[in-house]
Amino acid sequence: MKTVLRKLALCCMIGVLVVLAAGCVHEPPEGKLTPEQEAARLAKSAKIHTELASEYFFRRQYKVALEEVDAALKADANYAPAFNMLGLIHMALDENSKAQLHFERALRLSPNDPEIHNNYGWFLCERYPDRIDSAIDHFKRAINDPLYETRYIAYANAGLCEIKRNNYPEASAYLRESLAQNSGYRPALVGLIEMDYKRGQLDLAQSRLNGFMQRYAPTIKSLVLGIQIERALRNPRAVDSYLFQLQKNFPDSKEARTAREGGL
């Protein structure tokens, strides 16, 4: 039922966006657009196609997302959010060189965009461990923008990035600030659990993870942590439970594939 509702919601959104695209700019009586109206029409088209690309991206329909970005760039060849979306898509496809080129192009076009800084920072953190300092700098650029409405995401990303290099005091500060802004943000909550696990505080990590699983829908990371924590505590039945949930909830994920191959 949830899948059907999501499909219906996406279809409705597409319908609304198409109507907006068709009706947002009115032609003058003689039927010819002025230069200003044509520019507004193209700008609106680029925005709508990029928003559609984002929807398809989050549904992992990357081919359709790329088609929408292509349509956006045909409307406006210098639309920074479209290049930002290209960066995300190619990152998801493990095409790191292409992703980096697109993120950097987006930042050249819009050097103060906090969303692009946040996404590029996450890309660097995930794919280039030797560039964590640069990643943190990009997160800080996003965090320091008072108009950025989702700074809690950038705070959480910075914290997760610091965990990668075992910088736990900084990681804890970033994650707790993220939760101060959004107490239910799951990546930040899971980040604190990961930090307990990496510090060897297995009982605390297990307790916090159990509490998380009772209150929130699982994430890929929370299930992987469950497998790792319970394996370290030598609880094979609990390990099997987390493996089952990973396969059930995220069968197409890299982590699920790795688990099926016995490598997780």
Residue 35 has what pLDDT? 85
**Of the candidates 226, 235, 188, the residue with the CA atom closest to the CA atom of residue 207:** 226
H or E segment and range at residue 70: helix 62-75
pLDDT given at position 264: 81
Write 34-41 long-range contacts (CB < 8 A, 24+).
none
What's the pLDDT at 48? 96
CATH of residue 68's domain is 1.25.40.10
DSSP H helix total and E strand total for the chain: 14, 0
140, part of any domain: no
**In the structure, what pLDDT confidence band is assigned to residue 182 with cuts at 50, 70 and 90?**
very high
Residue 13 — very low, low, confident or very high, per pLDDT cuts 50/70/90?
very low
The domain total for the chain is 1
What φ, ψ does residue 31 adopt, rounded to 5°? 85, 5
Q: Are 39 and 15 in contact (CB under 8 A)?
A: no
Looking at the domain assignment, is residue 184 inside a domain?
no
Q: Looking at the domain assignment, is residue 208 inside a domain?
A: no
In a domain, 20, yes or no: no
Predicted TM-score (pTM) of this structure: 0.83
Segments forming the whole domain that contains residue 97: 40-111
CA distance 116 to 87: 9
14-69 per-position pLDDT tens digit: 444 433 343 444 444 456 888 888 889 999 999 999 999 999 999 999 999 999 99
Q: Considering Cα of 233, then 165, then 129, then 107, what sign does the dihedral take? A: positive
Summarize the confidence of residues 233-254 as an average pLDDT. Answer: 95
Q: Is residue 14 part of a domain?
A: no
For residues 114 and 141, is the Cβ–Cβ distance under 8 A? yes
Q: Is residue 92 part of a domain?
A: yes
Is 163 a domain residue? no
The residue ranges of DSSP E strands in the chain, in sequence order, are none
The pLDDT tens digits of the residues spanning 162-179 come to 999 999 999 999 999 999
* Domain presence at residue 228: no
Condensed to tens digits (0 to 9), the pLDDT of residues 72-122 reads 999 999 999 999 999 999 999 999 999 999 999 999 999 999 999 999 999
pLDDT at 36 (0 to 100): 86
For position 20, what pLDDT does the model report? 39
Compute the average pLDDT of residues 147-158.
Answer: 97
For the ranges 3-7, 78-82, 158-162, 186-190, the lowest mean pLDDT is seen at 3-7
Dihedral sign computed on CA atoms, order 62, 67, 70, 76: negative
